[in-house]
Amino acid sequence: MLINRGYKTEIDPNNKQLTLLAKNAGAARYAYNWALNLKKLAFDNKTKIPNSIELQRELNKLKKTELPWMYEVSKCSPQGALRNLDIAFTNFFRKCKQKVKGKKGFPKFKSKKNGIGSFKLTGTIKVSNKYIQLPRLGKLRLKEHDYLPLNAKISSACVSEKAGKWFVSIQVKETIEVPTKDEAIVGVDLGIKTLAVCSDGTTFDNPKALKSNLGRLQRRSRQLSKKVKGSKNRKKAQRKLARLHYKISCIRKDTIHKITTHLTKTKSKVVIEDLNVSGMMKNRRLSRSIHDLGLFELRRQLEYKGKWHGCEIVVANRFYPSSKTCSSCGWIKKDLTLADRIFDCDSCGLSIDRDLNASCNLESYTVSSTGINAYGEVSSGLASSKTKLTS
């Protein structure tokens, strides 16, 4: 199976390379904002919006007169920014055509206040155990050795900055063998108290990355707001706050990667719920905790890792009552609330943890061609025995 895969790792540039990296990121940011201004004028005047090729020709003319400093950086940096702007406008018009609710995501101008930024490079890119060679930048030291593939065909490289650290991400094409597994089905119930509860009894704790660091986050935000704008102390406070945000995101991503890798490598089928995350976020008491979970990222990783490791990902219907249904007899407890952590069945007398009961129901979830759920008549509460329908 031929796949596109990205490898991202931190680099350790010297002072000269740091200057070149900042110049390339600045050139990409300038080209993006310059092109966005022209596109926005055309959009407001209801005239033809120029594409990246037309804008690149105009930018090349300006290099000879008004922007000679752009010759100091790679030509790929502004070109990649113009292509990204085209993609942003395409997504905006697609959402308008589909009449997506809420904001449509009109492209915004980039600012150094949100970070130095990133840029994309193509051409001759070579990788060794300790170095990566990029166009116009030379050999950059890698902080993590023997991680990037040596013999893979590299299509492009993206260099980015976050919290004072520089990273390089390469896009390669790889051929992998999808393994065949014995039948091993597991249902996974996602929650706030415990991030994931599996029907086989395995649980994954929620690290609560944001909640555990919320005090420090608020304190550093207050310290930043009290600093004089433009001062060196304000820049120091900005770096401290950015590093803390980066630490929180790393804790969350590390947990999600470990969960999704374990499930897709050990199971042949994983059943999860189709959660209405945007609706759940409207609950002001739970919105911060739900945001801290990263539910969309978990589902996204399950889907692409499932293809790599031969694991089928099944998404249960959003209205399937996995928590309210008894996993033993199929009786539905309609008055179940979020405060009820133990599921007590009035029909068969089963007493089981609420999340474990939901994961057991997800394990037995199948959908027939007519769309009936796994229990058939049981879902209406009329039947007393559990009936499985296979697709």
Q: Which residues are annotated as catalytic?
A: 189, 273, 355
CB hemisphere CA count around 387 (13 angstroms)? 15
Question: Which position has the token pair 């499930």?
Answer: 263
Residue-by-residue DSSP string for 43-70: HHTT-PPP-HHHHHHHHHHHHHHT-GGG
Closest CA to 272 of 297, 302, 252: 302
Render the burial of 250-279: b for 16+ CB within 10 Å, e for the rest: ebbeebbeebbeebbeebbbbbbbebeeee
Cβ atoms 19, 44 nearer than 8 A:
no
- C-alpha distances in angstroms, 134 versus 146, 158, 162, 196? 17, 10, 19, 41
Q: Exposed (0-12), middle (13-18) or buried (19+): which is 351, by Cβ within 10 Å?
A: exposed
Alpha carbons 190 and 323: distance in angstroms, whole number: 11
Tokens for 142?
Answer: 């890698």
Structural element, H or E, at residue 269: strand 269-273
CA neighbor of 379 nearest in space, from 186, 389, 191: 389
Distance CA 255, CA 220 (A): 25
